[in-house]
Structure 1
């Protein structure tokens, strides 16, 4: 049936409530080329505008035939001054006149057909608003629309009454039929009303037909008069969610304590509440379940649950859902052949099941993740890391990350969240990978590819809260208060945290929440072979009132219980907490085996800018912990970027100014010296290794940010990458960087770090001031010490003899001579222009072949070779004397004839005694 208004709360709740006519129209059937008045009743609004009486504005547009997008939107989102204002009529009633007609009001173009008007109604200060509201629009001619009831499928009790009303245009008569049996004809050719007494159990169809002399049109709805649900225990071995029993059958289980009845509706029930979708209930009334047979193997079926006849939800345990508001922005390239949303059959999120799915063929069956203390994690947001925002492209960047040396990738939340462009901390479905990044099989391929390179995959998991699209929120929601209902098994009505709260707060003391948390964690560990979780805001895993900063016995117990379950599934899994609570509590959790996020953004930023700082809190020892389980980071998704702060707010003295780009990028190297060398796990935020200098607040804090792979064209940034690379290589290659025997002086602008191991001792010095300084190195022993980056040596006879350092200068001294890293030097010099020579490369980027044309004015020795980001030679192209034009092709293979993966490479051209490097992008 065509509903007068379909409304779903994008920001709050997407639940269908019966007969909640918050918008009505005059006339009842709006015609596209005629005027219409919209009436809004705030007393029936289920969200923030309930009983509102102040000024209201509307963000409004139309839905055109053949599209589900808002079109011809009036004004600018968020700017009420550009949008229509509603007229307050008193008694919570508002109106909006759409004149001279709908088409002209919205500037609809010739040939376009309006199917719906769309509205979001907002308060003057934009603090409160409705969900998306839709009103059907008709073309001039014979039309019929059932205006009551507002659903196309009702579930009712025996002897309930159903009030039916319908409106028509240009009709001669209107008739009502029940199960194709004629009931009545209205004496009024514009409307019909009738009351049905549901006096028999079973399925029924109500149809209203409008007739003209030459034509007729019909609208209909269905109702099901239910008997008491069958009470029966769950079949053996099934669990909440989707249980695939054979290639043609499935058992669905919904955990919904204290609900009255549940139907599954979907492709297999014609989207109606029918006998074959009526779910059985367990003896304890906690779960509803049904066996569905006769399914076609590998065919996808769309479905929802209809709970108590009025709440429509997708399956909380589905691993694929369809979103009517956001899926149309996902391209076929990102998610090929995505099944269509069932338009005109339902509203809200829809779940998908598919029997006989092919098993993923894992290439790395047994993966040994890096030790907790050896972790070098790379945190990234797929959206802002690669323009195509899909797993396949992310796989293609792994050579870049592998070359950098990181051994773990931490993905910001990738389970279904609200919208497409979010950071992901507004989760809705916990078992479904978000389709904006690609199919679930591609995510598995990404995990497998990481494991093949020795990289662990860590998933950012948000179990502190959910938002309104979560079916667990929707199942038990008080529409009058706009909060979870008091009987919600999973959520608190109000968050107990008085300072920090987002969305709807999980009640972590509830057994239902504990069971749900365990099922989520176990699923990702076993189904996707991920290696652990970074849990968002674990400070909130408690019902203890306050800001969460104090030692909390209950929270400790909750987190230990959760970690124990994870380790029972996978003993090597990482349990990482964004905790930020009392140090005594973090110490206890760390010593229990968990890893704790250590935010050192402020001090590393102050140091880079040239102000006072202290890095001691970035060490486990500085916090008094007995285990090195502090994951220190200078930047994460949540902090301002160091490079931005330095070039914006940096200190200076004389000609030395940290705001200067070349100086600031060298200060990033200095920070890295005292970040990656301190023993213990570390985390890098994406592009930090290239000195990302765009503010976190550009385009809004969580808005899209520029993707800066072009930074690699800048020698200073490439050098910073190579410095990171060389330091990570040191960590991996030498036990001294994993030692527990270390000391430091990190509180002044002249900083020092000592690492002691039987194989090698290390002294690291750095001047974070903006003036020259002399530092007591405090070498651990006399003798020869070697400087890592230059290969030079000093003979130490006095371990305390002062060493002079220029501002921003650093030294790494070791008691063993190490291989000097291959790092670009003299980046402050102008880029070398090869006199008398020219090099051209095309196409670039290229998926396979690169054509290289070199021209020389005189005879010269020429060597051309392809190297990777670490400077390792992959392919020798030529090495000989030559004059004139030289044409060469690199086929994307190495010297062994193997195809190299998509990544960034360099052509190194040596011509006599001159060298230049050109970037090659292999797609």
Structure 2
């Protein structure tokens, strides 16, 4: 009886409890504790809150939980292929999900997200995997991450698919230096110098490494110079490939040495009569003036000078600190107690409180010292001192109170017949074996005998390096030491004048390199800064080279005019050939519009021409312009001459092709156009013959030289000034691209030992003699009638020239491979063969052999 009652009570209790549960469930809105709950199992609480964290190795981890009903799991994120989960779904109750990751082969950490969903409940759990510490990232990297000057440094470079070194199998070197005051210092090797110290070790495909040990400071041997920044370029053995095109930099902490701390600005007006640059006041006093005012009207926070006069010591006293004059926009300092006979080297030290420090040479210095390039100039070329000061950083400038005097032998040289000039374009580097003025001096008798009456020197103002065409100028008042001393330049010009030859300087004012002080003063990365008052950040025209001068800036105009007048006075040059004057504009253009008429460009060039004429009224000015005819004629009317390029036409005729071979564009009645068959910029006619000549003009030297003689008779007999590129008179057949377009070319003076080449040379000589002896025939007053178009090819070309006094010159020529009868362009009768000196009776037609010509005169 007792047992039965107990059972009844138990059943009743369960019925009561069940009823309570139903009642509670029916009225409750909290489902988390019942059918849809999702809670971590014991031991998985931290993963639920903090997520999975994996090392770089392949491994697995699990998470356990309880779900109130069926659940699913998934991975989300940008890339989840490196991990997986198992299982991806399950029923209610206890469950475990295994998360597995593969080995991280990359140098980057990886992330994903595990999402567990049960009913309306969702739990997001992060999944991360550490980067592989042994994987090298693309590009430049280094260890430790915070370099210290007194600790070793491992530098590593990994070439990606875009790098020029990607797939490179040869040796790789680091070009490296301590960057201080805007200059790379303690550079262990020159660009093309391959030393073991700078050789990198290949650690795997496309990866190279080098260690600076025992520490950065000792590896460079930088002494007490603070080491706060390293400049780096990764290159192949010959320097033709870079790992990254732009320079790379590594910031370094140096707790041992600190730099100089400039004092507060001192203000005072620039002394009266002083100009920018180096001002000699008396035999013991010099005032240095540095312009510094950007396009926003701002200036640097400090400016000092260091040099031989203060033992290259920076200080905040009167021996180093410059005064500021905001009215003139200049810094200045007066140096006293100087030795008038001593040459002083010096630099400007300028910068900002934010840490910018720049060492500058003076833009107006007439001599600079270059620690990277002067050492390669032989004493036979430059006999004066090139000793570099111990305290200098980069290029330094010099001055001497008592300048070395030169006694000119010819003080009043005049160009005899400027309309009939034959200009010989000469590159000092490639003209003789010594590649300098000494060598060119030894060849002046050759040029005089040839009949040349003007020499145009390719750029000789200081350019970067020693081996160049010279179109990379950096200092405009200094002559490049790679060719000789200042006195040697004057001796060369004087000797030319004695020989009756004018000297024309090829000058480059369109642009300058980054070594130019005006460029360095306002600089940003690898370009001139937006606030630079001298340069454009980007050239407005499509012919940009280096850094583009803004010729609408009064500062640039003032500088160029001052430089032109200096060259005329100091070196007694007879004129200038201006490079790339099409770029003297701020008008935005494309290749299709750059030649359009530009009135502002005309005004700029007229301004420069006026400054030239003010100093030397008969100076000869030539422009490489190639612009709208209206513009060129307006410049010609102002007394300037312009290049006239007929290279393509004369190359076509040299190769034996009539197409595009008309010579008609060589001449206009005004004498302003300086015509040429070749220039430094064009491919050589004789080379094109060897490559693409028609028939015997490719295979036979004699035929090639005869065709070039024929070209010459239809070139030097045309009125107006002409230009000959060096060695064109020998049939120089080395391509312009030999050793790179601007690279050094081989000498072939022995060409003159070959009878066929010597005959071409002699034609130049004879025709120049004709021009020099009878200038009236080649003036603008002479009448020219010629048939030199493509339609005249098969029947022969002809030229008739007649002076006002009745002197006549006739040229007939045959550019084909077979003899033809050419119509005589003048009256038949008695004529003299100019080359033989024999009288002939000439009929209505003249039989001319293949590749042949006849030149007749009536006097």
State the TM-score, normalizing by the size of structure 2. Answer: 0.73
CA spacing shift, 1:529–1:338, aligned 2, 3 Å = same
Correspondence for 1:485 among 529, 544, 548: 529
Distance (Å, rounded) in 1 between the aligned partners of 2:327 and 2:288: 17
Distance (Å, rounded) in 2 between the aligned partners of 1:272 and 1:503: 34
| SS of equivalent to 2:569 | helix
Deviation at 1:794, TM superposition (A): 2.9
Correspondence 1:329 to 2:376: yes
Distance (Å, rounded) in 2 between the aligned partners of 1:646 and 1:616: 18
CA spacing shift, 1:72–1:359, aligned 2, 3 Å = closer
Deviation at 1:222, TM superposition (A): 5.5
User: 369-378 or 453-462: which moved more?
Assistant: 369-378
In structure 1, runs of 5+ residues without a counterpart are: 1-20, 43-48, 107-115, 136-146, 150-164, 167-219, 817-923
In the alignment, is the contact (CA less than 8 A) between 1:61 and 1:72 conserved in 2?
A: no
Distance (Å, rounded) in 2 between the aligned partners of 1:597 and 1:71: 37
Correspondence for 2:682 among 629, 632, 639: 639
CA spacing shift, 1:98–1:573, aligned 2, 3 Å = same
CA spacing shift, 1:477–1:227, aligned 2, 3 Å = same
CA spacing shift, 1:585–1:815, aligned 2, 3 Å = same
Correspondence 1:696 to 2:739: no
**What residue number does 2:245 align with?**
129
Deviation at 1:783, TM superposition (A): 2.9
Deviation at 1:319, TM superposition (A): 0.7
CA spacing shift, 1:66–1:674, aligned 2, 3 Å = closer
Correspondence for 2:324 among 274, 277, 281: 281
CA spacing shift, 1:58–1:254, aligned 2, 3 Å = farther
**What residue number does 1:120 align with?**
233
Distance (Å, rounded) in 1 between the aligned partners of 2:800 and 2:400: 58
| SS of equivalent to 1:726 | helix
In the alignment, is the contact (CA less than 8 A) between 1:74 and 1:83 conserved in 2?
A: no
Alignment of 1:809-820 (within 5 A): 809-816=852-859
Correspondence 1:744 to 2:780: no
Correspondence 1:379 to 2:379: no
Cα deviation, 1:515-562, whole Å, max 9, x if unaligned, reads 111011111111111111100000000011113111111111111111
Q: CA RMSD in A?
A: 3.6
CA spacing shift, 1:293–1:54, aligned 2, 3 Å = farther
Correspondence 1:441 to 2:487: yes
Correspondence for 1:252 among 279, 288, 294: 288
Distance (Å, rounded) in 2 between the aligned partners of 1:449 and 1:382: 15
**What residue number does 1:37 align with?**
154
In the alignment, is the contact (CA less than 8 A) between 1:62 and 1:73 conserved in 2?
A: no
Correspondence 1:666 to 2:706: yes
**What residue number does 1:454 align with?**
500
In the alignment, is the contact (CA less than 8 A) between 1:222 and 1:272 conserved in 2?
A: no
In the alignment, is the contact (CA less than 8 A) between 1:23 and 1:41 conserved in 2?
A: no
CA spacing shift, 1:100–1:366, aligned 2, 3 Å = closer
**What residue number does 1:730 align with?**
770
Cα deviation, 1:569-618, whole Å, max 9, x if unaligned, reads 11011111001112221122112211101111110111111111444444
Correspondence 1:389 to 2:502: no
Correspondence for 2:267 among 214, 217, 230: 230
Deviation at 1:267, TM superposition (A): 1.7
Distance (Å, rounded) in 2 between the aligned partners of 1:130 and 1:677: 51
Correspondence 1:242 to 2:356: no
User: 549-558 or 266-275: which moved more?
Assistant: 266-275
User: 592-601 or 257-266: which moved more?
Assistant: 257-266
User: 770-779 or 627-636: which moved more?
Assistant: 770-779
**What residue number does 1:874 align with?**
none
**What residue number does 1:98 align with?**
211
Correspondence for 1:59 among 150, 173, 176: 173
**What residue number does 1:552 align with?**
598
Cα deviation, 1:128-162, whole Å, max 9, x if unaligned, reads 43559899xxxxxxxxxxx756xxxxxxxxxxxxx
CA spacing shift, 1:688–1:304, aligned 2, 3 Å = same
**What residue number does 1:790 align with?**
836
**What residue number does 1:496 align with?**
540
CA spacing shift, 1:486–1:28, aligned 2, 3 Å = closer
Distance (Å, rounded) in 1 between the aligned partners of 2:714 and 2:578: 27
CA spacing shift, 1:395–1:741, aligned 2, 3 Å = same
Alignment of 1:709-788 (within 5 A): 709-734=749-774, 735-738=776-779, 739-747=781-789, 748-749=792-793, 750-757=796-803, 758-779=805-826, 781-788=827-834
**What residue number does 2:338 align with?**
295
Correspondence 1:267 to 2:308: yes
In the alignment, is the contact (CA less than 8 A) between 2:459 and 2:508 conserved in 1?
A: yes
Alignment of 1:455-534 (within 5 A): 455-479=501-525, 482-497=526-541, 499-534=542-577
| SS of equivalent to 2:614 | helix
Deviation at 1:483, TM superposition (A): 2.2
Cα deviation, 1:314-348, whole Å, max 9, x if unaligned, reads 101111111121111111111124232234x3422
Deviation at 1:98, TM superposition (A): 3.4
Deviation at 1:396, TM superposition (A): 1.7
| SS of equivalent to 1:120 | strand
Distance (Å, rounded) in 2 between the aligned partners of 1:286 and 1:630: 42
In structure 2, runs of 5+ residues without a counterpart are: 1-139, 178-184, 220-228
In the alignment, is the contact (CA less than 8 A) between 2:655 and 2:697 conserved in 1?
A: no
In the alignment, is the contact (CA less than 8 A) between 1:61 and 1:73 conserved in 2?
A: no
CA spacing shift, 1:579–1:446, aligned 2, 3 Å = same
CA spacing shift, 1:118–1:283, aligned 2, 3 Å = closer
| SS of equivalent to 1:403 | helix
Deviation at 1:477, TM superposition (A): 1.2
| SS of equivalent to 2:550 | coil
Distance (Å, rounded) in 1 between the aligned partners of 2:334 and 2:551: 32
User: 630-639 or 324-333: which moved more?
Assistant: 324-333
Distance (Å, rounded) in 1 between the aligned partners of 2:413 and 2:664: 33
**What residue number does 1:362 align with?**
408
Q: Which has the higher helix share?
A: 2
**What residue number does 1:649 align with?**
692
Distance (Å, rounded) in 1 between the aligned partners of 2:340 and 2:752: 49
In the alignment, is the contact (CA less than 8 A) between 1:767 and 1:773 conserved in 2?
A: yes
Q: Which has the higher strand share?
A: 1
In the alignment, is the contact (CA less than 8 A) between 2:606 and 2:635 conserved in 1?
A: yes
Asked which structure has the greater CA Rg, the reply is: 2
Deviation at 1:478, TM superposition (A): 1.7
| SS of equivalent to 1:288 | strand
Distance (Å, rounded) in 1 between the aligned partners of 2:786 and 2:420: 20
In the alignment, is the contact (CA less than 8 A) between 1:61 and 1:71 conserved in 2?
A: no
CA spacing shift, 1:55–1:224, aligned 2, 3 Å = farther
Correspondence 1:808 to 2:851: yes
CA spacing shift, 1:134–1:148, aligned 2, 3 Å = closer
User: 764-773 or 408-417: which moved more?
Assistant: 764-773
Cα deviation, 1:59-104, whole Å, max 9, x if unaligned, reads 3379999997579726999xxxx96569999xxxx9834399999x
State the TM-score, normalizing by the size of structure 1. Answer: 0.68
Distance (Å, rounded) in 1 between the aligned partners of 2:619 and 2:378: 34
Distance (Å, rounded) in 2 between the aligned partners of 1:381 and 1:254: 34
Correspondence 1:572 to 2:613: no
In the alignment, is the contact (CA less than 8 A) between 1:53 and 1:88 conserved in 2?
A: no
In the alignment, is the contact (CA less than 8 A) between 1:457 and 1:530 conserved in 2?
A: yes
Distance (Å, rounded) in 1 between the aligned partners of 2:481 and 2:261: 35
CA spacing shift, 1:356–1:72, aligned 2, 3 Å = closer
**What residue number does 2:194 align with?**
73
Deviation at 1:763, TM superposition (A): 1.0
CA spacing shift, 1:791–1:337, aligned 2, 3 Å = closer
Cα deviation, 1:18-44, whole Å, max 9, x if unaligned, reads xxx99887985689xxx85137899xx
Distance (Å, rounded) in 2 between the aligned partners of 1:620 and 1:720: 23
**What residue number does 2:468 align with?**
422
